[in-house]
Structure 1
Amino acid sequence: MRNFILPEGFKDESELMISGEQFHYLRRVLRLREGDELSGTNGKGRSYTLSVGEIRRHSLTLLVTGYQERSVDNCRISLLQCLPKGKKMDLIVRQAAEAGVWRIIPLFSCYSIPRIENAATLERKVSRWRRIIKEALQQSGSLCPTGVVQPVNMEAFVEDKEIQGLKIFFHQEHISRFSLHGLLAPGDRDITLLIGPEGGLAEKEIEFLKGAGFYPVYLGGRVLRSETAALFAVAAVQTILEEKRAWKIAN
């Protein structure tokens, strides 16, 4: 069953009117008819059972027939992604949203191909990424309300923003002995993952991140594309966290 992201401001009404882009999505994309059921989420951990009521030319009514509280992931994963070239960021945003990443912060770094652009161009990109996130959440059913912000300079963000919890950057070479399992074992609520661009991280960036409290983690002997590395890292962290409850101390 497809998942529908309920409009902002929804306050548990028994029915709601849908028009505009959301109407187009339900009527033209999902091809829903009167009486069809679908699930909906409010982005705050509540899941709703919805039924299509009256359909008009440019709008339709959704009837709320039930709801249940669903647990949202206890930890919040932030993805700091150094901007890759072309439209690879679109794929990274989509996959991160599907995987339950809490927020995405695009970064300008030394080897990023895209450079700082004017505010209007950046805002258009962010608007596109937000549309991609919404589509991904509706497809995946993730309850995590993934957010994305305008691209910022790496050093400025790390210095100016207080990043809570565990901070990790991934590297293609063995530059430390930290293991992902070991770092995740304490159970930090907030986890920040940083992925470099196609050209990797500059040596001065590596030293800067270490000084800012980031732990370097080895990604393995394979050279991964930037978009692959992001999914690889998020999936590895999510899998370890999911299986953590089954861990047992060896005798």
Structure 2
Amino acid sequence: MRNFIISSDQIDGNKIRCSASEQKHITTVLRMQQGDQVRFLDDNGNYYIATLQYVDENKISAEIINQGFNPPSSPSVTLFQALIKPSKMGLVMQKTAEIGVDQIVPMVTDRSIINLKPSTHIQKNTRWQRIANEATKQCRRLRFPKILQIQSFTECLLSVGGFDEAIILYENEKVRSIQSVLRGFGSLDSVAVLVGPEGGFTNQENEAALAENCVPVSLGTNILRTETAAIVAAALVVYELRTGEGN
């Protein structure tokens, strides 16, 4: 069944009004017809099975025939990703959404190549959320990740204390692999993953993260590009803590 994304204000009783972008997807791309059943997802974890009642290029309405709640995955996984080039940032949003990350926090670090003006933050966040939403629909995941507003590295560290555990990718870590650290955590409700920019975190940033009880981990002997590191780390965290034998 095809998934589409809505906000709660698009629901009126047992009727759903589609956004312009979803209308285009339904009519132009998928060429769906009246009577077809689809699943709508909102940003609170609710789902709605609905039948398309009226379909044309300008208006789509659907009638809810069943609804329920998709519980969040456990543990929740939040990726703190340093700002990188736009195409690479979009790739991280897309692939980690497919993998199952629950939140992504774009992060400004000392070595971030891109230093966005505050006036562009909302625009960038909207674009990244759209990329994550499209990835969620494509892989038929039942909850879509939330892309938080851009934060400074210091702001991110202040929020790390709210997680059960936090790991930071550190290329100079020679002892602790990410797998061994994850398998030693035990039962968790939440975990944070910090990924630096090209060139990595500075020594000062690493020291500040360690002071906030972030655990430095290695992804192996190869030095990965930041977008590759984020995707690999997200996949390992989701596998080890949700479905892996070590869980």
User: TM-score interval w.r.t. the shorter chain?
Assistant: 0.7 to 0.9
Query: Is the Cα–Cα contact under 8 Å of residues 240 and 246 in structure 2 kept in the other structure?
Result: no
Query: Is the Cα–Cα contact under 8 Å of residues 181 and 240 in structure 1 kept in the other structure?
Result: no
Q: 1:103 aligns to what? A: 103
Out of 131-140 and 177-186, give the one that drifted further: 177-186
Structure 2 residue 240 is the aligned partner of structure 1 residue 234: no
Indicate how the Cα distance of structure 1 residues 69 and 110 shifts in structure 2: closer, same or farther if over 3 A, else same: closer
Q: 2:218 aligns to what? A: 218
Q: Distance in 2 between matches of 1:176 and 1:208?
A: 20
Query: Is the Cα–Cα contact under 8 Å of residues 101 and 144 in structure 1 kept in the other structure?
Result: no
Q: 1:194 aligns to what? A: 194
Q: 1:127 aligns to what? A: 126
Q: 1:169 aligns to what? A: 168
Q: Distance in 1 between matches of 2:2 and 2:125?
A: 25
Shift of 1:198: 1.2
Query: Is the Cα–Cα contact under 8 Å of residues 80 and 156 in structure 2 kept in the other structure?
Result: no
Shift of 1:219: 0.5
Q: 1:40 aligns to what? A: 40
* Runs of 4+ in structure 1 over 4 Å off: none
Q: 1:142 aligns to what? A: 141
Q: Deviations over 1:43-66 (max 9, x none)?
A: 444433222112245102212233
Q: Deviations over 1:58-117 (max 9, x none)?
A: 1022122333444431221111111122421111111122222121111121221112x3
Residue identity matched to 1:154: F
Query: Is the Cα–Cα contact under 8 Å of residues 39 and 49 in structure 1 kept in the other structure?
Result: yes
Q: Distance in 2 between matches of 1:205 and 1:133?
A: 28
- Within 5 Å, give how 1:62-141 maps onto structure 2: 62-115=62-115, 117-141=116-140
Query: Is the Cα–Cα contact under 8 Å of residues 10 and 17 in structure 2 kept in the other structure?
Result: no
Query: Is the Cα–Cα contact under 8 Å of residues 72 and 143 in structure 1 kept in the other structure?
Result: no
Indicate how the Cα distance of structure 1 residues 49 and 176 shifts in structure 2: closer, same or farther if over 3 A, else same: same
Shift of 1:160: 6.5
Residue identity matched to 1:191: V
Indicate how the Cα distance of structure 1 residues 43 and 118 shifts in structure 2: closer, same or farther if over 3 A, else same: closer
Query: Is the Cα–Cα contact under 8 Å of residues 82 and 197 in structure 1 kept in the other structure?
Result: yes
Shift of 1:129: 0.9
Q: Distance in 1 between matches of 2:157 and 2:67?
A: 40
Out of 31-40 and 211-220, give the one that drifted further: 31-40
Compute the TM-score of the two structures, normalised by the length of structure 2: 0.88
Task: Determine helix, strand or coil for the equivalent of 2:63.
Answer: strand
Q: Distance in 2 between matches of 1:146 and 1:70?
A: 13
Structure 2 residue 49 is the aligned partner of structure 1 residue 49: yes
Residue identity matched to 1:48: Y
Q: Deviations over 1:183-235 (max 9, x none)?
A: 45322211000011111121221111111110011111122111111110010
The number of residues matched between the two structures is 246
- Runs (5+) with no aligned partner, structure 2: none
Shift of 1:173: 3.4
Out of 141-150 and 222-231, give the one that drifted further: 141-150
Out of 186-195 and 174-183, give the one that drifted further: 174-183
Q: Deviations over 1:99-143 (max 9, x none)?
A: 22121111121221112x322222221111121122122212223
Q: Distance in 1 between matches of 2:206 and 2:114?
A: 20
Indicate how the Cα distance of structure 1 residues 57 and 102 shifts in structure 2: closer, same or farther if over 3 A, else same: closer
Q: Could you tell me the percent identity over the aligned residues? A: 26
